[in-house]
């Protein structure tokens, strides 16, 4: 009997739990090799190609283009060439038997304790994470390619050894299954636990983990599932009472009486329904969280940018390659964050409700970029070490890969402060929403001619508006105003900070 190996959709980075299948690069019956791209998937952060950790004949494709797949669910089934008489030119196996998922092994051949014999998905997930060539796909790595460590398959046994409910998973299991939960520092969980929580409506963001380092275990989710036994008895009368007291005559008017395709509340025809998914879903969740958690405040100032524009024109006349205006402003921002580091921080909340302000030795400057897939914020890493020309080159590169949907989760999720140039849309100002979990965002409006007083005389100058939205928990208005004034002064007198361009 042929042995089919099931490759589960791997974790694609930083807490992403699902991905949309864009297209298949292979078909049933194709022979594939290790690390060959088999599918293209789109996550809430980028579009990536998924390589196969197995070589063999494609036995089954688990999903259709356009379908949303959960992390840890089957993606593709592969039958190794030469197993049970399967040859390379013997393409599609007829009706393969149920997939066989092998027990996990250690590098030295010792069997790893299997805590989820009753859950084959988790068992397969551990096995497929250990196969492959050593190449890395964002948050997913196959460790087999950097050495010749010998693998000895653990002997199969018909007796399943169940792990005690309170037993700690092996360190190898933790390294294979851990995935960070967005917004929580210590809570990491396996795809199996995420699925269990999702199916039972358990909010992982509010669930303390009992494992090492705050790890959320299966027992924690099971405890949460069985804990609120008495709650339905209190809430059920409240839910059913309005239905019982509503006049019967009004019910048909709102439901059965409404024609198909007509909104019952407004009476207007429904033009379309668009699922909220991908980047739009991620942006919506992040913005809603920012608004609900961050007590934000906004300060703004009009700035005379004539001096900066004249400096660029002078550099152009000299024949040198001149950075864009956004690169100059980015240079001023990184200098300002060195002087006002409170705005380059993050607030972390522990499971007991206590909070800490985390500061960073460096600036990862996020650049808000509008793409066909929605608003994304790739970040320039260690931006404080770059000159204006170097910033310009990196901003252009990141904007390009973001618009192609090829930016990695690291590039999209590592920012410490965001710069947003909404002036390209022809607007003067905006009270932007902070890119959670950052604590501040600086917006730049369009540059237009305005009357301005210079040395007591009225003149026409190139004026822009800077808007800073900040988290009032990390600093007060004096710090925010000081940073904003620093950037404004640098724009008005650019030569003082640009000796290194």
Q: Are 488 and 496 in contact (CB under 8 A)?
A: no
Q: What is the domain range of residue 435?
A: 279-496
Do the domain assignments include residue 296?
yes
The residue annotated as part of the active site, out of 25, 62, 200, 472, is 472
Q: Using one digit for the tens of pLDDT, what is the confidence trace for 103-121?
A: 433 333 344 444 444 444 4
Sign of CA dihedral 257, 262, 263, 266: negative
Q: Is position 217 within any domain?
A: yes
At which of 244, 265, 300 does a domain end? 244
Of the candidates 183, 206, 188, the residue with the CA atom closest to the CA atom of residue 413: 183
Contact status, residue 221 vs residue 197, Cβ threshold 8 Å: yes
- 468 phi/psi in degrees, rounded to 5: -115, 120
Instruction: Kindly state whether residue 33 falls inside one of the protein's structural domains.
Output: yes
pTM over 0.85: no
Percent helix / strand / coil, the chain, rounded to 5: 35, 20, 45
| Residue position matching structure tokens 């998937």 | 41
Q: Which CATH number fits the domain that encloses residue 133?
A: 2.40.50.100
| Averaged pLDDT for residues 186-202 | 66
What are the tokens at 154? Answer: 């653990």
Q: Give the total number of structural domains in the chain.
A: 3
* Domain final residue, candidates 244, 260, 291: 244
Do 333 and 454 lie in one domain? The reply is: yes
Residues 156, 302: Cα–Cα separation, whole Å = 73
Q: Verify that 354 and 237 share a domain, yes or no.
A: no
Q: How far apart are CA 130 and CA 179, in angstroms?
A: 16
Whether residue 285 sits in one domain with residue 238: no
113 lies in a domain? Answer: yes
For the chain, the maximum distance between any two Cα atoms, rounded to a whole number of angstroms, is 92
C-alpha distances (whole Å) from 271 to each of 256, 257, 276, 283, 373 are 20, 19, 16, 24, 21
Most confident of 36-45, 161-170, 429-438: 429-438
Domain presence at residue 85: yes
> Does 472 qualify as catalytic in the annotation?
yes
- Let me know whether 141 and 213 are in one domain: no
Q: Are residues 307 and 445 in the same domain?
A: yes
Q: Are residues 302 and 343 in the same domain?
A: yes
258 part of a folded domain: no
d(CA 434, CA 417): 9
In a domain, 256, yes or no: no
In this predicted model, which residue has the larger pLDDT, 246 or 223?
A: 223
**Residues 111, 228: one domain?**
no
Same domain as 129, residue 41 = yes
The span from the CA of 428 to the CA of 409, in Å, is 31
Q: What CATH number does the domain containing 485 carry?
A: 3.30.559.10
What is the per-residue pLDDT across 452-491, written as a single tens digit (0 to 9) for each? Answer: 999 999 999 999 999 999 999 999 999 999 999 999 999 9
CA distance 456 to 352: 58
Contacts of 153 (CB under 8 A, 6+ apart): 102, 105, 109
Are 355 and 438 in a shared domain? yes
User: pLDDT at position 217, please?
Assistant: 77
381 pLDDT above the threshold of 90 = yes
Question: Residue 264 falls within a domain, yes or no?
Answer: no
Q: In 3D, which of 45, 57, 36 has the Cα closest to residue 12?
A: 45
Residue length of the chain: 501
Q: Are residues 22 and 105 in the same domain?
A: yes
Query: Please, is 226 exposed, middle or buried when counting C-beta atoms within 10 Å of its C-beta (0-12, 13-18, 19+)?
Result: exposed
Instruction: List, for residues 312-366, the tens digit of each pLDDT value.
Output: 998 888 777 899 999 999 999 999 999 999 999 999 999 898 999 999 999 999 9
Residue 233 and residue 317 in one domain = no
Q: Nearest-CA neighbor of 17 among 73, 66, 63, 65?
A: 73
Say whether both 154 and 182 belong to one domain: no
Q: Among 226, 244, 262, which residue terminates a domain?
A: 244
Averaged pLDDT, 261-280: 86
Q: Which helix (H) or strand (E) segment is 338 a member of?
A: helix 325-339
């Amino acid at each position: 009997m042929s042995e089919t190996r099931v490759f589960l959709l791997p974790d694609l980075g930083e807490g992403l739990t699902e991905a949309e299948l864009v297209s298949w690069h292979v078909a049933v019956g194709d022979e594939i090799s290790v690390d060959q791209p088999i599918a293209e998937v789109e996550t809430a952060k980028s579009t990536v190609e998924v390589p196969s950790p197995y070589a063999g004949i494609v036995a089954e494709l688990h999903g259709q283009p356009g379908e949303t797949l959960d992390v840890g669910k089957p993606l593709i089934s592969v039958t190794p060439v030469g197993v049970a008489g399967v040859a390379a030119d013997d393409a599609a196996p007829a009706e393969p038997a149920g997939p066989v998922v092998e027990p996990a092994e250690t590098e030295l051949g010792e069997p790893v304790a299997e805590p989820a014999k009753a859950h084959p998905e988790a068992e397969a997930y551990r096995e497929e994470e250990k196969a492959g060539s050593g190449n890395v796909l964002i948050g997913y790595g196959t460790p087999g390619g950097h050495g010749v460590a010998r693998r000895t398959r653990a002997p199969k046994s018909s007796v399943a050894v169940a792990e005690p409910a309170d037993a700690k998973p092996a360190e190898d299991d933790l390294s294979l299954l851990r995935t960070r939960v967005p917004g929580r520092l210590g809570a990491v969980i396996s795809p199996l636990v995420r699925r269990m929580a999702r199916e039972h409506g358990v909010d992982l963001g509010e669930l303390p983990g009992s494992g090492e380092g705050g790890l959320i275990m299966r027992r924690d989710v099971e405890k949460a599932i069985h804990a609120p036994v008495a709650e339905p008895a209190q809430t059920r009368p409240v839910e059913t009472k309005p239905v019982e007291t509503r006049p019967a005559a009004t019910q048909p008017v709102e439901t059965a009486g409404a024609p198909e395709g007509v909104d019952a509340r407004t009476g207007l025809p429904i033009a379309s329904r668009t699922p909220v998914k991908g980047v739009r879903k991620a942006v919506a969740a992040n913005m809603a969280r920012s608004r609900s958690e961050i007590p934000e405040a906004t300060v703004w100032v009009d700035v005379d940018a004539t001096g900066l524009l004249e400096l660029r024109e002078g550099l152009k006349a000299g024949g040198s390659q001149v950075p864009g205006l956004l690169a100059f402003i980015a240079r001023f921002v990184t200098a300002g964050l060195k002087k006002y580091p409170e705005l380059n921080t993050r607030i972390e909340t522990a499971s007991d409700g206590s909070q800490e302000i985390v500061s960073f030795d460096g600036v990862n400057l996020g650049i808000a970029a509008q793409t066909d897939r929605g608003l994304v914020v790739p970040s320039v890493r260690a931006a404080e070490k770059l000159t204006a020309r170097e910033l310009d080159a990196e901003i252009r590169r990141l904007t390009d890969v973001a618009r192609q949907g090829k930016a990695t989760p690291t590039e999209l999720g590592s920012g410490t402060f965001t710069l947003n140039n909404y002036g390209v849309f022809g607007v003067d100002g905006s009270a932007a929403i902070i890119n959670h979990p950052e604590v501040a965002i600086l917006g730049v409006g369009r540059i237009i001619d305005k009357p301005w007083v210079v040395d007591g005389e009225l003149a026409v100058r190139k004026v822009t508006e800077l808007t800073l939205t900040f988290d009032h928990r990390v600093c007060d208005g004096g710090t925010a105003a000081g940073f904003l004034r620093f950037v404004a002064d640098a724009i008005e007198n650019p030569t003082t900070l640009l000796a290194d361009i």
